[in-house]
Structure formats: structure tokens, C-alpha cells
Amino acid sequence: MFQNREEAGRRLAEKLRAYAGQEETIVLGVPRGGVVVAYEVAKALDLPLDVLVLRKLGVPWQEELAFGAIAPGGVRILDDETLEMLSLSAADIERVAAKEQIELDRRERTYRAGKPPLDLRGKTVILVDDGIATGASARAAIRALRAMGPQRIVLAVPVAPRTTADRLGADADEVVCEEMPETFYAIGQFYRDFLPVEDQEVIGLLVRATPQTPESAGRKT
């Protein structure tokens, strides 16, 4: 369906043309893979780019299966249906959450590189990832963003199950999705090239994006 994340970002940008060049609008990519997609969106729409670090809470014996997610500000979202199905204990949940919190903090330090915290008050935020499966990470992200006071949150992804995208419409102000297949097993099945993205690639894309000052973040330059 998509050759790679770059192509997915360019196709997604076409669905977001109404936001091109808008003042007080910013694109936030979810590291790591989501930043590659977000970079293409921000470039096509002439908007600033930044990151929102999330961590999926994966089942200990099958980490790709998420039972929840965490986001900055102490936000934690748990998928009660998955937890009930798998009978995860409170100790299991806390063990995974503690491990992922360490990685979230590390990525925050690495990607933000001393930049001031995001100031999203009154802005339109376009939150971009390379795809959504269960929606737990997206719900955590939206909850974290709401606490920062943006005027509008647009969740934009290349691919997601239709049922998940519909549910997330109750959380975000707008959901933009390029493809919503009925049969969905994993995000990677919709990309020919879905190789892992490393920290240095994320950092490089952020450096290549238009530099922003605290006063101008979220405004076209």
C-alpha cells in the first residue's frame, strides 16, 4: 500500500492541504517512525516540526501487542479489554510501565536536546504517526496534548483500522487517515519498506526541519 514512510507522509499531506501555511499550527511526530512521516507532512505544508514522545506498553511475552501506553506528564492509558483477556497482574503492568518510562525519559532528552518544553497553548496541533493499531498510544498522546491547552488536535496517520479511527474521533477534534482497511493485523503489513528508524535519523530530520524559537513555534516562518 505504501512504498515507505516518506511516500506515506507525502500522500497524507495531500489530505491535510487545508492546513498549509497556517499560522499557530504545528506538526508533531511520534518517534521514531512517525517522525519520518511527519517530516514529509511538515515540509509539504510549510509548517514547523517537533516531537511528542510516547511509549507503548507491550505484553511481556509479545511486546508488539499493546495493553496501553504512556505519554509525558504522567499520562497512562490502559486497554481494559486486553488486560482482561490476558490476565496481566498489577505487578506485570508496573514492571512494563517502569521500563518504558525510563526509555520515554531518555528519548525526551535525546530528541529535544535542551529545547524548552512545547508551548501549544491556543495552537492547532497535527499529531502524526506511521499508523495506528489498537489506538492506545494515540489516546495517551491526545490526553497529554489536551493538558497543554491547544485549540485543536488533528490526529493524522497513513493507515489505521476503520473501527479504531472511528473510536478516536471521540478523542481528537479531527482524524485524518489515508487508508482504513477492513483487515488489519499490523501496521507493517501496509508498507513495503518498514525498517526500524534509529535515533540519529530522528535527530537528523529535526535538524533539517525549519528551526523554531520559543516565540515562533507553531507559526509559519
CA distance 161 to 179: 8
- The residues pairing with 155 across neighbouring beta strands, listed in sequence order, are 127, 175
pLDDT of amino acid 211: 55
pLDDT of amino acid 217: 46
Alpha carbon of 167 to those of 62, 153, 175: distances in Å?
24, 15, 10
User: Would you tell me the crossing angle of helices 90-112 and 199-208 to the nearest 10 degrees?
Assistant: 40
CA distance 86 to 187: 22
DSSP 152-198: EEEEEEEE--HHHHHHHTTTSSEEEEEE--SS-S-GGGGBS--PPPP
Place of cell 501506553: 69
User: Would you tell me the crossing angle of helices 33-45 and 5-14 to the nearest 10 degrees?
Assistant: 40
Give me 21's grid cell: 501555511
CA angle 124, 49, 201 (to 5 degrees): 150
Give me 109's grid cell: 532528552
Give me 66's grid cell: 499493546
State yes or no: cis peptide before 32, omega within 30 of 0. yes
Per-residue pLDDT in tens (0 to 9) along the chain, 221 residues: 899 999 999 999 999 999 999 999 999 999 999 999 999 999 999 999 999 998 889 888 887 778 888 888 888 888 888 888 888 889 999 999 999 999 999 998 999 877 888 889 999 999 999 999 888 889 889 988 998 899 999 999 999 999 999 999 999 999 999 999 989 989 999 999 999 999 999 999 999 985 544 444 444 43
CA distance 49 to 26: 6
pLDDT of amino acid 219: 44
Domains of the chain in start order, with CATH, are 5-52+118-208 (3.40.50.2020)
